[in-house]
Amino acid sequence: MCTVHKHHQKYPVTQTAMRIMTSYLRVQKPLPFINFKSITRAFSVAATISPPSKAIIYSTHGEPNTVAKLVSIPGIEVKENEVCVKMLAAPINPSDINRIQGVYPVRPEPPAIGGYEGVGEVYSVGSAVHNFSPGDWVIPSPPSFGTWQTYIVKDHNVWHKVDKGVPMEYAATITVNPLTALLMLEDCITLNSGDTIVQNGATSMVGQCVIQIAKSRGIRNINIIRDRAGVDEVKERLKDLGADEVFTENELEVKNVKSLLGDIPEPVLGFNCVGGNAASLVLKFLRHGGTMVTYGGMSKKPVTVSTSSFIFKELSLRGFWLQKWLGKDKAEESRGMIDRLLALVKDGKLKYKMELAPFEEFNTALDKALGKLGSQPKQVIKF
Ligand SMILES: NC(=O)c1ccc[n+]([C@@H]2O[C@H](COP(=O)([O-])OP(=O)(O)OC[C@H]3O[C@@H](n4cnc5c(N)ncnc54)[C@H](OP(=O)(O)O)[C@@H]3O)[C@@H](O)[C@H]2O)c1
């Protein structure tokens, strides 16, 4: 197998990348009709070749709506330890966009298929695979690159079987954002029932999960959102999820934000996924000795901290990165946490706003995910 060098690490040029490289120039033609189902049946005894796949690939880094293209790639061999998965759904997350832009620290080298998480149905298994059967729902766990395609062939160890009793859009999105919310609430500092947290970007999928998980643990939560038309409806929605308070950034243009807290204790922990003014507001809410965890930078503005925040208020600032956490041999632990999160979804205790977008309408979904059409729910591609 050949390899490429990236950030001092060797990344194998995978079979998928080779497929893309060899097929890129003969795409964008109408795809011939192939009856995949009859092929699976024919291969069910000795499944060796996956069906051809349709995929969103980028052959160079750049603005996603310029460089990402729908292409057709030929089927590949399903080796004895591999599983061929027919993808059902996969989200467009901010980090997927950053990988295409080439600004995310860990990313595949182009040409590459977009996407990092998703859910699919087992289509066929290699001869040595006994823990999966056609029809099972599986997610790549830990997530892995290239989920924006109709068929994926990967080693059986990559896949984690999930409960088919949850809506597919939840199975598709359960790792990157809900797991981040759960980990940040469990791993950053010890939080007790009655404590308070504060977060910006509360409308994000992570933010919505933070609200619900915090609420279930008796943790009060203060939420900061961007100003917008229809703000009351958004506030109502977040309060229905369990938000104690929701403020827009403009509403926090007051001398002492803590005067708005009423009987809610000052927050001990803050989450920042925005930066700029929204991060300063999180810091203003924190109590003496509090901690702010930065996990995203949606505004692309830096976090500015006053000298006195460190010296007199003794605030601590740190970051969280799921990909780093998953890299610490946490595959098994993360699968257990994902099952816990899916159980919450099944029980109606964890929900978040999403919009299913047909694969054929990927470009519109991408525009929405890029914020070109204003604030939008999470876009989840339905294959
Ligand atoms: N560090 C990690 O391991 C990790 C893991 C998961 C996610 N993340 C990060 O967490 C953040 C949220 O991800 P998500 O998938 O949950 O988000 P999402 O559901 O896709 O929602 C996007 C969020 O970003 C806000 N936003 C978009 N553009 C903005 C701007 N220019 N200024 C301020 N806010 C803006 C949106 O607010 P409106 O509602 O006002 O549009 C919305 O709350 C992202 O930065 C993502 O990269 C980090």
Rounded to whole angstroms, the Cα distance separating 158 from 38 reads: 27
Report CA(209)–ligand 1 centroid distance (Å): 12
Please report whether residue 155 resides in a domain.
yes
Atom of ligand 1 nearest to the CA of 202: 43
Q: Is 145 helix (H, G, I), strand (E, B) or coil?
A: coil
Same domain? For 28 and 141 the reply is yes
Catalytic residue numbers?
104
Same domain? For 163 and 190 the reply is no
Q: What is the pLDDT of residue 18?
A: 54
Please report whether residue 53 resides in a domain.
yes
Mutate to test the pocket of ligand 1, among 169, 180, 200, 206 (most ligand atoms within 8 A of CB): 206
Strand partners, 85: 122, 152
Please report whether residue 99 resides in a domain.
yes
The per-residue pLDDT for range 55-93, each reduced to its tens digit, is 999 999 999 999 999 999 999 999 999 999 999 999 999
Same domain? For 143 and 165 the reply is yes
Q: Is 82 helix (H, G, I), strand (E, B) or coil?
A: strand
Q: Is the pLDDT of residue 16 over 70?
A: no
Atom of ligand 1 nearest to the CA of 92: 20
Q: Check residues 24 and 66 and name the one with the higher pLDDT.
A: 66
What does DSSP say about strands 269-272 and 291-294: parallel, antiparallel, or unpaired?
parallel
> Could you list the residue range(s) of the whole structural domain that residue 77 is in?
3-173+353-382
Same domain? For 165 and 22 the reply is yes
Contacts of 79 (CB under 8 A, 6+ apart): 126
Same domain? For 240 and 166 the reply is no
Please report whether residue 139 resides in a domain.
yes
User: Ligand 1 site: residues with CB under 6 angstroms?
Assistant: 93-95, 176-177, 180, 201, 203-207, 225-226, 273-274, 295-296, 298-299, 320-322, 371, 375, 378
What CATH number does the domain containing 146 carry? Answer: 3.90.180.10
Q: Is the pLDDT of residue 34 over 50?
A: no
Helix axes of 205-216 and 231-241: crossing angle, nearest 10 degrees: 40
Same domain? For 245 and 200 the reply is yes
- Please name the residue whose Cα sits nearest to atom 7 of ligand 1: 177
Residue 73 near residue 35, CB atoms below 8 Å: no
Mutate to test the pocket of ligand 1, among 98, 271, 298 (most ligand atoms within 8 A of CB): 298
Please report whether residue 48 resides in a domain.
yes
Strand partners, 224: 200, 247
Report CA(257)–ligand 1 centroid distance (Å): 23
Mean pLDDT for all residues in the chain = 90
Please report whether residue 333 resides in a domain.
no
Same domain? For 150 and 15 the reply is yes
Please name the residue that has the structure tokens 């038309």: 229
- Please name the residue whose Cα sits nearest to atom 38 of ligand 1: 375
Concatenate the DSSP letters of all residues of 200-216 into one string.
E-TTSHHHHHHHHHHHH
Q: Is the pLDDT of residue 41 over 80?
A: no
Please report whether residue 340 resides in a domain.
no
What CATH number does the domain containing 230 carry? Answer: 3.40.50.720
Q: What is the pLDDT of residue 227?
A: 96
Report CA(202)–ligand 1 centroid distance (Å): 9
The percentage of the chain sitting over the pLDDT mark of 90, rounded to a whole number, equals 87
- Residue 272: its H or E element: strand 269-272
Same domain? For 213 and 160 the reply is no
Domain count, the chain: 2
Last residue of a domain, one of 308, 323, 338: 323
Residue 14, phi then psi, degrees to nearest 5: -75, 165
Q: What is the pLDDT of residue 20?
A: 54
Please report whether residue 371 resides in a domain.
yes
Same domain? For 259 and 303 the reply is yes
Same domain? For 158 and 301 the reply is no
The per-residue pLDDT for range 211-270, each reduced to its tens digit, is 999 999 999 999 999 999 999 999 999 999 999 999 999 999 999 999 999 999 999 999
Atom of ligand 1 nearest to the CA of 95: 47
Report CA(172)–ligand 1 centroid distance (Å): 17
Q: What is the pLDDT of residue 14?
A: 53
Same domain? For 8 and 139 the reply is yes
Q: What is the pLDDT of residue 328?
A: 86
Same domain? For 214 and 241 the reply is yes
Average pLDDT, stretch 117-124?
98
Q: What is the pLDDT of residue 270?
A: 98
- Please name the residue whose Cα sits nearest to atom 17 of ligand 1: 204
Concatenate the DSSP letters of all residues of 29-42 into one string.
SPPPP--HHHHHHH
- pTM for the predicted model, two decimal places: 0.91
Report CA(197)–ligand 1 centroid distance (Å): 18
